[in-house]
Every structure is written in C-alpha cells, then in structure tokens.
Amino acid sequence: MRILLAEDDEKLNETLVYGLTQAGFTVDACFDGEDALFYGEQNIYDIILLDRMLPCMEGTDVLASLREKGISTPVILITALGTLSDKVEGLDLGADDYLVKPFALEELLARIRCVARRPRRIVDEETRSLADIVWLPAENRLAGPVGNCTLSRREAALLEAFLKSGGATLSRSHLLLKVWGPDSDVEEGNLDNYIHFLRRRLKTVGSRLNLKTVRGVGYALTELP
C-alpha cells in the first residue's frame, strides 16, 4: 500500500515515515500544501495522511481541490485542531477520517486499516479484464487463454496502469510515476526491464495483447491481429 504523508513538522514527519515503513507501507513524504496537492493529483496513492495546517496551502484547501478534481483517494486529516466544528468541517470537505494530535502510531495504523477496509477500496481492487486476459488483484493472478501466472508488485502496478488507460499510449514519465512514485531516483532502464517482464507474462498466459513501443513517447497495450 502506498501512502502520501503531508506533515510540516520535520521530526513528526520523520517519525511517521519510519513507523509506517516499518509497518510495511511505501511512504512518500512532503512538508507543504503545494507539494501535497501536486503529489495527490497524480492519483497513485491508496491513502493520504494530510496535516490540516500546512505552509503554502492549508490541508483543507488541498483536500477540497483534490475532491473537486474527482480524486477519491481516502484522506485522513491529522491536526491539532480538535473541536467538533473543526472535525465537521474536515469531514464535510471530503475527509474519510480525522485524527487529533498527539496520537499513538498504533491508533494511526488502526485508522489506516479501517479506511482501507471500506468498500471504496474494494472497487479499486476489483477484477479487470481486457481482450483475452483477466487480472484478479485480490489473488495477484493474471489469467489468459492458456493459463495463469502471478505478477510481482511492480509488474502488477504496470499492468494496472495500462488496463486503466483505455488503450491510450502512456509516456515513460507517466509510467515511472505510477509504478515507482514521484520521489524515486529509479533509472529509466528499469522501466524497459519491467516492460520486458510483463510482455513475457502476457505470452505465458497465451494472450494476444502486446506492449507496443511508441518511439519517442512510451508504450501502449494493444491487441495483435
């Protein structure tokens, strides 16, 4: 699960990143509202942990902007403002939960698990199909005309990006962002390697689908004649 953490207190930010990473999450962290909005707009996160009082742009403004853009990623507001009116305002803006500082990491983890269990995430993880393949995220299984196989985490993220694209050509930069996240220093050659791996997976299950190289742009998932 990939989490975006927006918290301007450097010590708390570092502590939360460490705790969340130890709990098995992939965490991208930022310290102001403008960065939080930019990262959130990429729509690659399972949950956003958003401090309410951020420099450059307040967390509530970030939240409102994300919801206006149709981004439904679950958001847990983290704040020192704990009055009833503060909570109601945050929830009315589209927050999925509201956690008042100070809090224990165990409570945050419990709230993350609670939000992740809600039906919205089930919709995101439902079976997807295209042409002659079926992708079952819950089972980590790709099914095709002649068999099944499992995918690595990055192979699965790459496949899902193509399945959600509606046949559009995806740029290399878009794929790097979707699969590795905004702060990764991964080399572009790694993308080529995973494209190769995914092509082999499609061949393994006997699919007619192919990852076509669009020179100078990126890749597209197309069906062979």
Task: Enter the tokens of residue 3.
Answer: 């989490």
Report whether 163 contacts 207 (CB < 8 A).
Answer: no
The predicted pLDDT at position 187 comes to 75
The predicted pLDDT at position 123 comes to 39
What is the rounded CA–CA span in Å between residue 26 and residue 20?
A: 8
What is the rounded CA–CA span in Å between residue 42 and residue 128?
A: 21
The predicted pLDDT at position 35 comes to 93
Domains of the chain and CATH, by start = 2-122 (3.40.50.2300), 126-223 (1.10.10.10)
What is the rounded CA–CA span in Å between residue 9 and residue 95?
A: 21
Is the pTM value of this prediction over 0.85? no
Q: What is the DSSP letter of 62?
A: H
The predicted pLDDT at position 94 comes to 83
Each of the 225 residues of the chain gets a pLDDT tens digit; together they read 889 999 999 999 999 999 999 998 889 999 999 999 999 988 788 899 999 889 999 998 999 898 888 788 899 999 887 677 777 777 887 888 888 888 999 999 999 988 887 655 433 456 788 889 998 887 788 999 998 999 888 898 899 889 888 788 999 888 888 888 776 667 778 889 999 999 999 999 999 999 999 998 999 999 887
The predicted pLDDT at position 183 comes to 63
| Three-class DSSP category at 127 | coil
Task: Enter the tokens of residue 97.
Answer: 């939960």
Instruction: Give the N- to C-terminal CA distance of the chain in Å, as an integer.
Output: 37
**How many other CB atoms are there within 10 angstroms of residue 37's CB atom?**
23
- Using alpha carbons, select from 2, 107, 90, 103 the residue that is nearest to residue 50: 90
